[in-house]
Amino acid sequence: MIGTFANVGTIIIGTAIGVWLKKGIKEEYQTALFTAMGFAAAALGINAIAQHMPNSSYPVLFIISLAVGGFVGTVLNLDERFNKIVGKFGQSELAKGLSTAILLFCVGTLSILGPIESALHQNHTYLFTNATLDLVTSMVLAATYGIGIMASAAVLLLWQGGIYLAATYLEPFLTTELMTEVSIIGGILIFASGLSILGIRDTKTLNMLPALLIPVIWFAIIGWI
């Protein structure tokens, strides 16, 4: 799991650097960082959508996924539960930053296929590349939201570690078609996080998180039939 440990390590290092940088930043500049992070998340989300949408085999699946997933997430009240937990340990805005960090670090092709390549073929390229990207992202997030962003490293460890351990069973299931649909939905969720950070609309992104499972269920049903 050297690739995963490297990825986790870069997030911890990036967070530490970001927190150090934040100490010398005035409040007005911190506001500018909030805005920049919101635009960055929105841009990354749009890029993921534009990149994968043309390759979708089921153009309506993402709509169904968001509708069903959003309904389930709202019933479970995931966003409010997450905010209450995070609110006990940090400022009110931390929940937005942490949820955005988790989405950026975990919902992506590199973060999902990387542990499988690492486990089955000892190829850590995906994860090392992901680690480099996460280093920069965690620095900006930590400079904006504080040291609480480091908690996303633990989530990433569990996420990639679980995929690594289950690599043998997951490899044949994680087809290009499935990854395309998941990437589209992930892009939309990241874009929604950007809107929340910018204060344009409180999208309660975490309530839509179950939407990521709908394509998995759909392809499992298709494969079974």
Mean pLDDT along residues 212-219: 90
pLDDT per residue as tens digits for the range 36-64 = 878 888 888 898 899 899 999 898 999 99
**Distances, alpha carbon 27 to alpha carbons 22, 34, 114, 137, 157, in Å:** 10, 11, 38, 20, 32
CA distance 152 to 64: 28
- Percent of residues, the chain, with pLDDT higher than 90: 27
CA distance 40 to 46: 10
Structural domain boundaries enclosing 25: 2-224
| Burial readout 137-148 (b: 16 or more C-beta within 10 A, e: otherwise) | bbbbbbbbbbbb
CA distance 222 to 112: 21
Confidence of residue 171 (pLDDT cuts 50, 70, 90): confident
- Percent of residues, the chain, with pLDDT higher than 70: 95
Q: Are 6 and 162 in contact (CB under 8 A)?
A: no
| Six token digits for residue 162 | 């679980």
Q: Rounded to the nearest 10 degrees, how much is the dihedral formed by the CA atoms of 38, 42, 45, 49?
A: 170
CA distance 82 to 125: 33
**Total domain count, the chain:** 1
Can you give the pTM of this predicted structure? 0.79
Q: Scanning the structure block, which residue is given the tokens 């990433």?
A: 156
CA-based nearest residue to 38, from 203, 146, 185, 195:
195
Residue 83 scores a pLDDT above 80:
no
